[in-house]
Structure 1
Amino acid sequence: MRMLVVGAGATGGYFGGRLALAGRDVTFLVRGKRAAALRSEGMEIITPSGLLKLQPQIVEAGEITRPYDVILIAVKAFALGSVLEALAPAVGENTLIMPILNGMKHLEVLTERFGKNVVIGGLCKIAGTLDERGRIVQLSPLHEMTYGELDGSASERITRLDRLFQNAGFNARLSLNIISEMWEKWLLLASLGAITCLMRGNIGQVASAPGGDEFARAVIDEVLAVLVSVGYIRREEYLQQTIGLLTQKESVQTSSMYRDLMQGYEIEADQVIGDLVSIAGRGGLSVPLLRATSVNLSVYRAARDNI
């Protein structure tokens, strides 16, 4: 299967690079500056177990001449709109589009643009970043990718995709309930993002502050209420795991949005927090902590845009 990976940052570069090193036919769709750097210097991935190097196949917008079998979309969620036209020539009748973006809005955007039959569900779990030299840095051993048909079926095409991802240097898993798993990732990600961004600290710092544990639990309750209102079926075991993870006083965990914020980067505020606030508003739900987080992040973005 020919794969096009849209984006070669910390997420797309890591998983796409691993797949390429495992012998899969992988091409990266990237923009000018990143494309030039990758062509001249190659791609480097710094992992907890060592350094990986490869010379990736690269295309830029306007250079795609025929469809790909799989398109893995791994840009930041706020950049999705800007890549739709560039990847359109890569979409054929039998192409699978697998986004691993945060939130859920992207499914609606992609199905409206390319049709529901083309899009499958996907998510990844990895802590990564780009360093000052553009190298991909895996910050912990966690590297998981999960995928599945939106209707939960074990189709021939999803089974074929599963074979492509197996034994490629990361943990890959086919899910027959991918939508529920995407809801649960959003629950964790939004709660983690709101806790760390609003309080400007890691999980342990917040949990150790007076009232911090109660604050974290209240944030989780708000996110959960919103997701349940639009179809998520609460799983008590997962909820308790999430609460435990986000109230550990010894934890140094932060969200990728918090790390981006602290470095002055653009952030996924609308996709991770803003969409939840919008859903709550339509459903008449009270979410004061999520609204406070949304205002906080809006102030940050406005200040950043004016620099």
Structure 2
Amino acid sequence: MRMLVLGAGALGGYFGGRAMERGLDVTFLVRPRRAEQLARDGLRVRSPLGDIDLPARTAAAAGPGFDVVLLSCKAYDLESAMAAIRPAVEAGACVLPILNGLVHIEALNAAFGPARVWGGLAKCAATLTPEGVVQHLGDWRWLTFGEQDGRMDGRAAAFAEALGKTRGLEAEAVPDIQRRMWEKLVHLGTVAAGTVLMRASVGEIVRAGGRDVLLTLLERNAAIAAAHGHRMTPAFMETYRALFSDPASAYTASMLRDLEAGGRTEAEHILAPLAEAARRAGVPDELHALALLHARAYDQRREAGRLPARM
């Protein structure tokens, strides 16, 4: 199968690289600076699950001939990303978005139609170093996706079979992708609100006495999901109660890493919708509102050019 990856950053570079290892025909749609980097050094991934050093094909514009477009941009870049991939989608490609949150699905459906848009989520922590190396953080390696109507006999299932399940990547097509995306939002909304609000990792928050704050966020996010028809299972809640109670955990949200790097955050695409959803569902929203206020205050300082030289 032919795969177009928008960008070759943390997630695009990681999953695109693993797809290349599996023998898929992968092209990275990148800006000139990243294209030069990849032409000079190839795609470099450093991972506890095995490094990648492979030549990478790049393109400056999308075109026909692709089966799948992996959309791994930040949520605030969605509009420009949709314009960039439109030629490939209009020529027949399906879109696999692994953006954080849920609001992007509505925009993609409006632009391309639900039949061309899959639901998707990634469970993978990675970052792109200034030298252009994709640094995989830990052993999370899951790529889960599915067609919105739940079909299991279409292109999504074929793509999952092509990617397979290996040491560095476990790809799975599922019939209940909407529920899976809500599960991720419950988890992500907890770690994003908690670590951004406290400017600390999960373990640091727990050791400081904040375990109950994290667990309260988790319970409230689960209540928001239930109000939208997606009740979390006991096994899910048990897993994430343990994760958010671990005093040794170095886990942080990518939103906190973006904030500490002085960059843009996805607060308006994750924290803001969750705060609004809490209010609509009658779920106490003061923690969500406080985390959102924290992020927006940071945005004000950033826009005014008053961030410290090193966050």
TM-score, with normalisation over the residues of structure 1?
0.93
Task: Name the amino acid aligned to 2:47.
Answer: T
Relative distance call for 1:205 and 1:24 in structure 2 (3 A) is same
Q: Paired residue for 2:102?
A: 104
- Aligned equivalents of 1:49 and 1:97: distance in 2? 27
What secondary structure is seen at the aligned counterpart in 2 of 1:223?
helix
- Aligned equivalents of 2:264 and 2:69: distance in 1? 24
Q: Spell out the pairing of 1:117-196 with structure 2 (5 A cutoff).
A: 117-167=115-165, 169-196=168-195
Is 1:17 the counterpart of 2:22 in the alignment? no
- Aligned equivalents of 1:73 and 1:128: distance in 2? 16
What secondary structure is seen at the aligned counterpart in 1 of 2:8?
coil
The answer to whether the 8 A contact 1:67-1:89 is kept is no
| Cα distance, 1:50 vs structure 2 | 4.6
The answer to whether the 8 A contact 1:77-1:106 is kept is yes
The answer to whether the 8 A contact 1:68-1:92 is kept is no
* Greater Cα shift, 281-290 or 85-94: 281-290
Task: Name the amino acid aligned to 1:230.
Answer: H
The answer to whether the 8 A contact 1:67-1:91 is kept is no
RMSD over aligned Cα atoms: 1.7
Task: Name the amino acid aligned to 1:30.
Answer: V
* Greater Cα shift, 175-184 or 278-287: 278-287
Relative distance call for 1:205 and 1:121 in structure 2 (3 A) is same
Q: Paired residue for 2:231?
A: 233
The answer to whether the 8 A contact 2:146-2:157 is kept is no
- Aligned equivalents of 2:65 and 2:211: distance in 1? 50
Is 1:268 the counterpart of 2:256 in the alignment? no
What secondary structure is seen at the aligned counterpart in 1 of 2:275?
helix
| Cα distance, 1:267 vs structure 2 | 1.3
Q: Paired residue for 1:205?
A: 204
- Aligned equivalents of 1:246 and 1:95: distance in 2? 39
Match of 1:302 among 287, 294, 300: 300
The answer to whether the 8 A contact 2:114-2:148 is kept is no
* Greater Cα shift, 276-285 or 152-161: 276-285
| Cα distance, 1:31 vs structure 2 | 1.6
Task: Name the amino acid aligned to 1:40.
Answer: R
| Cα distance, 1:208 vs structure 2 | 2.0
Q: Could you give the per-residue CA deviations for residues 101-146 of structure 1, whole angstroms, max 9, x where no partner exists?
A: 1101111110000001111111111111111201001111221111
Q: Paired residue for 2:28?
A: 28
Is 1:52 the counterpart of 2:52 in the alignment? yes
Unaligned runs of 5+ in 2: 306-311
Q: Paired residue for 1:259?
A: 257
Relative distance call for 1:85 and 1:67 in structure 2 (3 A) is farther
The answer to whether the 8 A contact 1:216-1:246 is kept is yes
- Aligned equivalents of 1:234 and 1:131: distance in 2? 35
* Greater Cα shift, 255-264 or 5-14: 255-264
- Aligned equivalents of 1:259 and 1:65: distance in 2? 33
| Cα distance, 1:24 vs structure 2 | 0.7
The answer to whether the 8 A contact 2:64-2:92 is kept is no
The answer to whether the 8 A contact 1:149-1:155 is kept is no
The answer to whether the 8 A contact 1:222-1:290 is kept is no
Q: Could you give the per-residue CA deviations for residues 36-93 of structure 1, whole angstroms, max 9, x where no partner exists?
A: 2222322111111553211211112xx3332421111011222111211111001136
What secondary structure is seen at the aligned counterpart in 2 of 1:238?
helix
What secondary structure is seen at the aligned counterpart in 1 of 2:10?
coil
What secondary structure is seen at the aligned counterpart in 1 of 2:140?
strand
TM-score, with normalisation over the residues of structure 2?
0.92
What secondary structure is seen at the aligned counterpart in 2 of 1:137?
strand
The answer to whether the 8 A contact 1:65-1:90 is kept is yes
Q: Spell out the pairing of 1:41-80 with structure 2 (5 A cutoff).
A: 41-60=41-60, 63-80=61-78
Unaligned runs of 5+ in 1: none
- Aligned equivalents of 2:76 and 2:20: distance in 1? 26
